[in-house]
Structure 1
Amino acid sequence: MSTLLLPTPEGALEPYTLSGTPADTSPLPPPRTRTAYAAAHVVADPLAPNAPGAPARLDWEATLAFRHHLWDQGMGVAEAMDTAQRGMGLDWEATARLIRTSGAEAAARGARLACGVGTDQLDPSDARLESVITAYGEQLDVVRDSGATPILMASRALAAVASGPGDYAKVYGELLGRTEVPVILHWLGTAFDPALAGYWGYADPAEAIEPVAALIAEHADRVEGIKVSLLDASLEVRLRRLLPEGVRLYTGDDFNYPDLVLGDEGGHSDALLGIFAAIAPAAARALAALDSGDTGRYRALMDPTVPLARHLFSAPTFYYKTGIAFLAWLNGHQRGFHMVGGLHSARDLPHLAQAVRLADAAGVLSDPDLAASRMAALLRVSGVDQ
């Protein structure tokens, strides 16, 4: 077992001894009773320029290997989502390549892949309703050609130019009318992106529940599901109960996912979660337990991951991506702790130290000795002798 001298939130140092128990990462088939996607991050090339505002340069081998790791755990991969730094460092040129490349990898192994369709190639100064529709359409074509399920992501440009609920209905109605395959809608709350305030034309998300359900009902044959990332379990359940039969509610609630996926007498949520990228081995085994009706084991595996998730997604929530990449580095999925746009600097050392403690307690460190070695190196370079 390895012992680290870790900083505390109060600015002190205290020893922490890792459990030494490696996570079980042996391959698993996809779960049968739930559909589960892990939203994957991208791995920056540590030897290439990746300054804020610069074009993203990825370590493509490591980026794709991480997706195969998730597929090996039975997870579907949600590609080119906000977890992959859409709107926070990953430009459209790199995104389009990522979608096409991941599509080819998924097709080669028959794996589940869904890809984000947005409007981030659009110059904000050119944003109009028609240009938003055009931008969505361009990206929809790229995802369609990749063979993946499209995810119509919430659009900052649409939020900026829409004058009310009617404009959202117009844009989504036109897009759903032209799509050739069922899509997943995406409702991202302001904790994840403050620029999406007032999405769907309502200042209070609670007021948008019925209109969103009505939009989906109107186009039910074109909507495979909707991902909801409001961090409000009651609103998610309310929407879930209004959905037409056959339309899935994918929880994007990285605080309350165990209860939402387990469900109640009225149904359950499926999952499309950034945290699943960090806890894939534990989540996969919890879902396998749920398949066999063993809710006790499901709880025993899933519940210990919640403190880690709530820590990684703590305010400012949109910096959760830093914790996802950090844990990928600790677990040996990338050479260095680097992110496009320099986003690896978005969380401080006490935050990362607490992530180590909680990841160890959650049982999601695949090689505790490697994790300890890498964390010790980060501590030393940060001025904390071990």
Structure 2
Amino acid sequence: MVKQLTLPDKNGKSYEYHAGNHKAFILPEGPFKSRIAFSAAHVVCDPLADSDPVLRSKIDWENTLAYRRHLWSMGLSVAEAMDTAQRGMGLNWEHAKELIRRSAAEAKAAGGRIACGAGTDQLLPGPSVTLSDVQAAYEEQCEFVEQHNSQIILMASRALADCAQGPEDYERIYANILRQVSKPVILHWLGDMFDPSLKGYWGYKNLDDAMEVCLNVIWDNKDKVDGIKISLLDASREIEMRRLLPPGVKMYTGDDFNYPELIKGDEHGYSHALLGIFDAIAPAAAAALHALDDHDYDSYHALLENTVQLSRHIFQAPTYSYKTGIVFMAYLNGHQSHFRMIGGAESARSIVHLSELFVLADQAGLLSDPELAAERMKLVLNVAGIRQEEYSSGKL
């Protein structure tokens, strides 16, 4: 049983750590009753593709789709082709179309719920891009998502942020798109900590003003808006906006720092979930949501308490590099045979960061096979020049 590791700390020293002292999660069967819970899902790259790993990465479709089946098996819905899948950061629109097509077919076969991101990333922001170009790009992607029988997640647009002259441009473009969709969409307000090019979205850098514009869009088109996901990492902002939504329009939390209290809610309401961290903590999230269905708040908080520290670590600044931690968790837990990413993004976090992630994941009970996880962690440590003792359990 190989669970002992030598790990580096932030001070340039090393320490010994023994993994695997936590019980597995017990997952009740059946759907969640009180909350809708989407997990944004990562993609698995093909590590053996003979192509430039940064410019022309290829996707391992079987393992990518297998992970979606894993999420559906626990009752979670899948938010597809979002920033967790490195959309616009390694995953281009051509890749995204294939991902949407394949995942929508898998969702139908598995009886799982899916919603897919529609944006404008076939456009490269620049002085020649017009509002008409942005609208046409949105229309193309929305049509593609609906053709594949998926709900639309209307993603924030880098091109719109670049060419809009003020809030009225946002209001006009969103109104034009929402009038054309056949079913209510989930809007997506992504903060600039996740994507710096979205700074000043909705026409204002001031969040009070930006929120007012966003709410105007929702109220003016409320019959075409299922809900809104906001990812601002500010619980008070989310609660404020949640209380100002039209009746029947849902708040989907995208707050990977404060999700337990936002999902539980208060006397005025609660948030559903559309979270990247659920990719990494799926068993804990599923068990907690079942506990919430049973009004077992003590178990709900106990199940999620240790995951928050892990999530805050994975999503630490620069926040957009969180995908590296998500994929690393999948590697540790045996959902893919390698720690490689499209765009070469496995290099976005340090070995110290990954070592602390390993410890936090173990302490949260999220290493499904601690022996396998420890062996894989040792491989990564050895590559980084942190020599480990010889080991072999035959699992790799």
Q: TM-score surpassing 0.5?
A: yes
Rate the CA distance shift 1:254–1:130 in 2: closer, same or farther, 3 A: same
User: 1:177-211: per-residue Cα shift (whole Å, max 9, x none)?
Assistant: 11111000000001000000000001112222222
TM-score scaled by structure 1? 0.98
**3-state DSSP class of the match of 1:141?**
helix
**Alignment equivalent of 1:375, drawn from 377, 380, 384:** 377
| Percentage identity across paired residues of the two chains | 55
Residue 42 in 1 paired to residue 43 in 2?
yes
Structure 2: which amino acid aligns with 1:160?
Answer: D
Paired position in structure 2 for 1:75: 76
Q: Offset at 1:27?
A: 7.0
Rate the CA distance shift 1:149–1:50 in 2: closer, same or farther, 3 A: farther
Structure 1: which amino acid aligns with 2:279?
Answer: A
Structure 1: which amino acid aligns with 2:80?
Answer: E
| Aligned mates of 2:70, 2:212 — CA distance in 1 | 38
Structure 1: which amino acid aligns with 2:151?
Answer: T
Paired position in structure 1 for 2:5: 4
Whether contact under 8 Å (1:50, 1:339) holds in the other structure is: no
Q: CA RMSD in A?
A: 1.3
Whether contact under 8 Å (1:56, 1:91) holds in the other structure is: no
| Aligned mates of 1:20, 1:61 — CA distance in 2 | 32
User: 1:80-113: per-residue Cα shift (whole Å, max 9, x none)?
Assistant: 0000001110111111000000000001122110
Whether contact under 8 Å (1:39, 1:81) holds in the other structure is: yes
**Alignment equivalent of 1:340, drawn from 339, 342, 345:** 342
**Alignment equivalent of 1:271, drawn from 248, 270, 273:** 273
Whether contact under 8 Å (2:22, 2:363) holds in the other structure is: no
Paired position in structure 1 for 2:226: 224
| Aligned mates of 2:209, 2:26 — CA distance in 1 | 42
Structure 1: which amino acid aligns with 2:349?
Answer: R
Whether contact under 8 Å (1:283, 1:302) holds in the other structure is: yes
Name stretches of at least 5 consecutive residues in structure 2 with no aligned partner. 389-396
| Aligned mates of 1:79, 1:23 — CA distance in 2 | 27
Whether contact under 8 Å (2:27, 2:286) holds in the other structure is: no
Q: Offset at 1:52?
A: 5.8
Q: Offset at 1:212?
A: 1.4
List aligned pairs for 1:125-274, cutoff 5 A: 125=126, 126-274=128-276
Paired position in structure 1 for 2:394: none
Whether contact under 8 Å (1:23, 1:367) holds in the other structure is: no
Paired position in structure 2 for 1:30: 31
**3-state DSSP class of the match of 1:374?**
helix
Structure 2: which amino acid aligns with 1:100?
Answer: R
Structure 2: which amino acid aligns with 1:206?
Answer: D
Q: Offset at 1:215?
A: 1.4
**3-state DSSP class of the match of 1:151?**
strand
Name stretches of at least 5 consecutive residues in structure 1 with no aligned partner. none
Rate the CA distance shift 1:308–1:51 in 2: closer, same or farther, 3 A: farther
| Aligned mates of 2:152, 2:376 — CA distance in 1 | 37
**3-state DSSP class of the match of 1:180?**
coil
List aligned pairs for 1:272-351, cutoff 5 A: 272-351=274-353
Which of 87-96 and 48-57 deviates more? 48-57
Paired position in structure 2 for 1:353: 355
User: 1:32-81: per-residue Cα shift (whole Å, max 9, x none)?
Assistant: 10000000000010101464652331010100000011101110000000
Count of residues in correspondence between the two structures: 386
Paired position in structure 2 for 1:362: 364
Structure 2: which amino acid aligns with 1:258?
Answer: P
Q: Offset at 1:342?
A: 0.3
**3-state DSSP class of the match of 1:78?**
strand
| Aligned mates of 2:54, 2:9 — CA distance in 1 | 32
| Aligned mates of 2:366, 2:51 — CA distance in 1 | 29
Paired position in structure 2 for 1:112: 113
| Aligned mates of 2:36, 2:138 — CA distance in 1 | 25
**3-state DSSP class of the match of 2:385?**
coil
Rate the CA distance shift 1:198–1:24 in 2: closer, same or farther, 3 A: same
Whether contact under 8 Å (2:161, 2:198) holds in the other structure is: yes
Whether contact under 8 Å (2:27, 2:287) holds in the other structure is: no
| Aligned mates of 2:29, 2:42 — CA distance in 1 | 21
Structure 1: which amino acid aligns with 2:372?
Answer: L
| Aligned mates of 1:22, 1:128 — CA distance in 2 | 55
Could you list the runs of 4 or more consecutive aligned residues of structure 1 that deviate by over 2 angstroms after TM superposition? 19-30, 49-53, 123-126
| Aligned mates of 1:343, 1:329 — CA distance in 2 | 14
Paired position in structure 2 for 1:122: 123
Structure 1: which amino acid aligns with 2:77?
Answer: G
Whether contact under 8 Å (2:20, 2:371) holds in the other structure is: no
Whether contact under 8 Å (1:209, 1:238) holds in the other structure is: no
Paired position in structure 1 for 2:392: none
Q: Offset at 1:303?
A: 1.2
Structure 2: which amino acid aligns with 1:365?
Answer: L
Structure 1: which amino acid aligns with 2:225?
Answer: V
TM-score scaled by structure 2? 0.95
**3-state DSSP class of the match of 1:124?**
coil
Whether contact under 8 Å (2:226, 2:250) holds in the other structure is: yes
Rate the CA distance shift 1:50–1:115 in 2: closer, same or farther, 3 A: farther
Paired position in structure 2 for 1:97: 98
